[in-house]
Copies of this chain bind each other. A is one copy, B any other.
């Protein structure tokens, strides 16, 4: 009898931000294939006797090629096992979940999908930056900052429209290109921008600035990946709404000094 594959979003890393359904399926799984962005704390919640298989990718350096991951999922399911495919964040937002399911479908393997808290939600709530706000942004767009062909991949003319928030995933190493692209298309120099690094973890750090100064600020601060970048007027609310970790302390200090 063929097994089943559960494509599960593991959220941002804090195990308290897992859903109940994610945990239930993790505890049923015989085999768990997991990515680099799945935290150790989350992995520890898998069944003690489950096989944990790391298939994580690093940028420009695939630990396990995608087609081999697909093949592993199919083989384990065909062997009758319950397989959890565990991905950081949400599997359908920059998670390549669709690609993996297409292969499972073609192979006749049944599957279910569990949404997870995507990085944009996690980092904005823990960073104190609403993604939409009646006065500042009536829409929000998630874009990958991982550029294959430098900036030619992105339609910056479309990204500079006002009254929207832009969230770049995986854009820390291309920050300068992203900022240059926005400025060249006429986005104002004083547009607020934030980097939220290691969001929701005790190591979370938030760096805020403007398109004019964020590259220099990050060169000094050296916030590490994983990080998301938030661009738009909503970022100006951050000093007021920060409540978690170091950024809240910074904001408190600023207010005391004012």
Contacts of A98 in B (CB 8 A): 130, 132-133, 234, 237, 241
Q: Is the CB of A142 within 8 A of B140?
A: yes
User: Shortest distance in angstroms between A85's beta carbon and chain B's nearest beta carbon?
Assistant: 13
Choose among B20, B117, B132, B237 the residue that contacts A16 (Cβ–Cβ < 8 A).
B20
A30 interface hit (Cβ, 8 Å): no
In the bound complex, how far is the Cα of B117 from the Cα of A114, in angstroms? Answer: 10
Residues 117-129 of chain A: 1 if any B CB is under 8 Å from the residue's CB, otherwise 0? Answer: 1100110111011
Q: Is the CB of B112 within 8 A of A243?
A: yes
Residues 135-153 of chain A: 1 if any B CB is under 8 Å from the residue's CB, otherwise 0? Answer: 0001111111000000001
Contacts of A143 in B (CB 8 A): 138-139
User: Shortest distance in angstroms between A159's beta carbon and chain B's nearest beta carbon?
Assistant: 9
Which parts of A64-92 form the interface with B (CB within 8 Å)?
A: 90-92
15 inter-chain pairs at a CB distance below 8 angstroms, sorted by A residue, are A14-B21, A19-B19, A20-B23, A90-B121, A92-B124, A93-B131, A93-B132, A96-B133, A101-B241, A102-B241, A113-B125, A113-B244, A116-B121, A139-B143, A141-B164
Using a CB–CB distance below 8 Å, which chain A residues touch chain B?
A: 9, 11, 14-21, 23-24, 90-99, 101-102, 105, 110-118, 121-122, 124-126, 128-134, 138-144, 153, 155, 158, 161, 164, 234, 237, 240-241, 243-244
Please provide the 7 A-B residue pairs with the shortest distance between their CB atoms, ordered closest to farther: A98-B130, A16-B21, A115-B121, A141-B141, A113-B125, A115-B125, A92-B130
